[in-house]
Homo-oligomer: A and B are copies of this chain.
Amino acid sequence: MTMQRTPLLMSKLLDRGAWIAPDEEVVTRTAGGTHRQTYADTRRRAAQLANGLIDHGIEFGDRVATFMWNGWRHLELYHAVPSIGAVLHTLNIRLGAGDLEYIVNHAEDRIIFVDADLLPILERLVPAIPRVERYVVCGDPDAEPWETSLPDAVDYEEFISGFGDGIEWPEFDENAPLGLCYTSGTTGNPKGVMYTHRSTYLHTMAEAMTDTLNLSAADCACGVVPMFHAMGWGLPFAATMLGAKQVMPHRFMASEPLLDLIASERVTISAGVPTIWQGVRALLEASPDRHDLSALDRLVCGGSAPPISLIRWYWDTHRVEMIQGWGMTEMNPLGTVSRRIAKRSQLALDEDARFANVAKAGLLSPGLEMKIVDEEFRPVPHDGKALGELLVRGPWVCSEYYHDPQPEKFRDGWLVTGDIASIDPEKYLIVADRSKDLVKSGGEWISSVDIENHIVGLEGAALAAVVAQPHPKWDERPVALVVSAPGAELTGDRVIAHCAERFARWQLPDEVLFREALPLTSTGKIDKKAVRAELEAEGYRLPDLRRDAPSARSA
């Protein structure tokens, strides 16, 4: 061939970062302060770890699991495991025991690396995951020595000690598996997405583009999104490739320690779900002068859609650009991003118009393709109104689930996302809802997400969930569950009146129920499935189906 066929292997990324920026830091929050090491250290320790894994007998394609927070050892595993051709399997520590047992057994994990503070959770699973050969425990340097009932457990430092800190990574096909993430499905067992070196390498290149996350070697990146969620949205890989500083919060993700870390390490870009940034905002509003945010430039917000009021608050108050991203575990995960100025034609827009764009899921990353289709898979027009099921295609989109193909999720080479969306004439993706969360009322669709985002824009509303409830005439009708902000005096009528400012009468929730809290999923989103289950357990019925209902729309 005329051009080199150099495979796109992830081992090149750490090698580049450690080569170009050997002295740049990887900083991890610990119980007593911070742990700091350089990329040169990380490269040496990743080599020791790789040699240790090979010595243990880990071979090409074997699964090595992590049960860990974001931290420097997790980063070493991110690079060492794939670089020797093994598969990094990041276990979601927030899943229930049944799911975790299923996942460990389904993946056939040979080793599990576990953070010491998470030992109690893992220990309970041991009887059900007998094929795990080895547990490697990662202790906090500032904490007491760990103790565990795990069989044959060894300390991480002991596991890697004695091994050489140099290694020549092997070359192999770029379509080799690299990492495994399971999605917690709404029905059936969790499904595994097996990323390849090629998919993740291309995804890393895409994240380093100006028009996506604008990542640069001059950045200091703090991923608050856990490294067990879709590979920490790819941030650890991209930051390493560029030689950018990395800051890792470990388990200290409450607003206060997080803000301390962002300020003291001069973080320039951070990433997390909307609830994180809502909490941080509340703290900043409560004590506006305590944290120095002068270095912070961008907040990536994904997992669910941030309210426009939140996006705007960060810009107006701190000149921090909140980049909305939409993606899926099935796509590595980056799909679309919304930037303040995403096209040349937007240079002339006023701020309101810009924020209206940022409130959309965004423009598709270079490298991907998308379309929306009706139930017969016919294309739906891109008018920003017509809804269809979203299909995506591209080199970092999965084509089957691991050892569980699920052919109905794929069609003609496209991933059927399960998201209901519109695409506007400017080609912005606007995600209306997960198909299972849409409210189907009288043959029309109501987006629960749109109403939720509008409700939390109301002062005094902290969280909102809108779910469908069965109705004999309309099929389904929406009900809103709202958590008030501390001290706020909100009424159902006030919430409905606020919704009526934007939505048609038939789209308004039939009732507003106030709650102390709402159940969250393992990825920090509001768990609509659990909300619906709670209502069912309570024997909830819509107001006009209740004999004693005094009013259709009060709490």
Q: Which of the candidate stretches A103-111, A194-202, A252-260, A476-484 sits at the interface with the other chain?
A: A194-202
Complex contacts, A363 vs chain B, CB 8 Å: 20
A216 contacts B by Cβ under 8 Å: yes
Least CB separation from A400: chain B residue = B2
What is the CB-to-nearest-CB distance from A370 to chain B, in angstroms, rounded to a whole number? 10
When chains A and B are docked, how far (Å) is the Cα of A363 from the Cα of B214?
18
Complex contacts, A220 vs chain B, CB 8 Å: 344
Least CB separation from A207: chain B residue = B209
What is the CB-to-nearest-CB distance from A349 to chain B, in angstroms, rounded to a whole number? 11
Tell me the residues in window 351-396 of chain A with beta carbons closer than 8 Å to chain B beta carbons. Answer: 363-364, 366-367, 369, 393-396
When chains A and B are docked, how far (Å) is the Cα of A220 from the Cα of B244?
28
When chains A and B are docked, how far (Å) is the Cα of A364 from the Cα of B16?
9
User: Can you list 21 contacts pairing A with B, beta carbon distance less than 8 Å?
Assistant: A1-B399, A2-B177, A2-B194, A2-B399, A3-B196, A3-B198, A3-B332, A3-B399, A4-B395, A12-B369, A16-B366, A20-B343, A21-B343, A202-B205, A205-B206, A205-B366, A208-B210, A208-B211, A217-B342, A241-B366, A242-B366
Tell me the residues in window 183-227 of chain A with beta carbons closer than 8 Å to chain B beta carbons. Answer: 193-196, 198-199, 202, 205-206, 208-211, 214-220
Complex contacts, A199 vs chain B, CB 8 Å: 3-4
Complex contacts, A427 vs chain B, CB 8 Å: 19-20
Least CB separation from A342: chain B residue = B217
Tell me the residues in window 6-40 of chain A with beta carbons closer than 8 Å to chain B beta carbons. Answer: 6, 8, 12, 16, 19-21, 23-24
A402 contacts B by Cβ under 8 Å: yes
Contact, CB under 8 Å: A3 / B205: no
Contact, CB under 8 Å: B217 / A343: yes
Contact, CB under 8 Å: A344 / B399: no
A504 contacts B by Cβ under 8 Å: no
When chains A and B are docked, how far (Å) is the Cα of A96 from the Cα of B342?
45
When chains A and B are docked, how far (Å) is the Cα of A164 from the Cα of B244?
49
What is the CB-to-nearest-CB distance from A241 to chain B, in angstroms, rounded to a whole number? 5
Contact mask for chain A residues 160-183; partner B; CB cutoff 8 A; 1 contact, 0 none? 000000000000000101000000
What is the CB-to-nearest-CB distance from A111 to chain B, in angstroms, rounded to a whole number? 21
Contact, CB under 8 Å: B3 / A344: no
Complex contacts, A3 vs chain B, CB 8 Å: 175, 194-196, 198-199, 332, 395-399
What is the CB-to-nearest-CB distance from A177 to chain B, in angstroms, rounded to a whole number? 7
What is the CB-to-nearest-CB distance from A494 to chain B, in angstroms, rounded to a whole number? 41
A413 contacts B by Cβ under 8 Å: yes
Q: Contacts A342-B217, A344-B219 hold; do A366 and B5 have CB atoms under 8 A apart?
A: no
Most buried by B among A1, A245, A332: A1
Complex contacts, A401 vs chain B, CB 8 Å: 2
A346 contacts B by Cβ under 8 Å: yes
Complex contacts, A194 vs chain B, CB 8 Å: 2-3
A341 contacts B by Cβ under 8 Å: yes
Tell me the residues in window 402-455 of chain A with beta carbons closer than 8 Å to chain B beta carbons. Answer: 402, 413, 415, 427
Contact, CB under 8 Å: B217 / A211: yes
Task: Please give the number of chain A residues whose Cβ is less than 8 angstroms from any Cβ of chain B in the complex.
Answer: 67
Contact, CB under 8 Å: B2 / A196: yes
Contact, CB under 8 Å: B24 / A344: yes
What is the CB-to-nearest-CB distance from A287 to chain B, in angstroms, rounded to a whole number? 28
A317 contacts B by Cβ under 8 Å: no
Complex contacts, A71 vs chain B, CB 8 Å: none
Complex contacts, A4 vs chain B, CB 8 Å: 199, 393-399, 413, 415
When chains A and B are docked, how far (Å) is the Cα of A12 from the Cα of B8?
20
Contact, CB under 8 Å: A367 / B244: no
What is the CB-to-nearest-CB distance from A152 to chain B, in angstroms, rounded to a whole number? 31
A243 contacts B by Cβ under 8 Å: yes
Q: Given known contacts A1-B400, A6-B397, A16-B364, what 16 new A-B pairs fall within 8 Å (CB)?
A: A2-B401, A3-B396, A5-B175, A6-B394, A6-B413, A16-B366, A24-B344, A208-B210, A210-B210, A211-B216, A211-B217, A211-B242, A218-B344, A220-B344, A241-B366, A243-B343
Complex contacts, A367 vs chain B, CB 8 Å: 12, 205
When chains A and B are docked, how far (Å) is the Cα of A395 from the Cα of B197?
14
A345 contacts B by Cβ under 8 Å: yes
When chains A and B are docked, how far (Å) is the Cα of A219 from the Cα of B177?
37
A347 contacts B by Cβ under 8 Å: yes
Least CB separation from A205: chain B residue = B205
What is the CB-to-nearest-CB distance from A496 to chain B, in angstroms, rounded to a whole number? 38
What is the CB-to-nearest-CB distance from A519 to chain B, in angstroms, rounded to a whole number? 31
Select A393's contact among B6, B243, B342, B400, beta carbons within 8 Å: B6
What is the CB-to-nearest-CB distance from A379 to chain B, in angstroms, rounded to a whole number? 13
Q: Contacts A21-B343, A343-B21 hold; do A398 and B211 have CB atoms under 8 A apart?
A: no
Complex contacts, A402 vs chain B, CB 8 Å: 2
Most buried by B among A23, A214, A344: A344
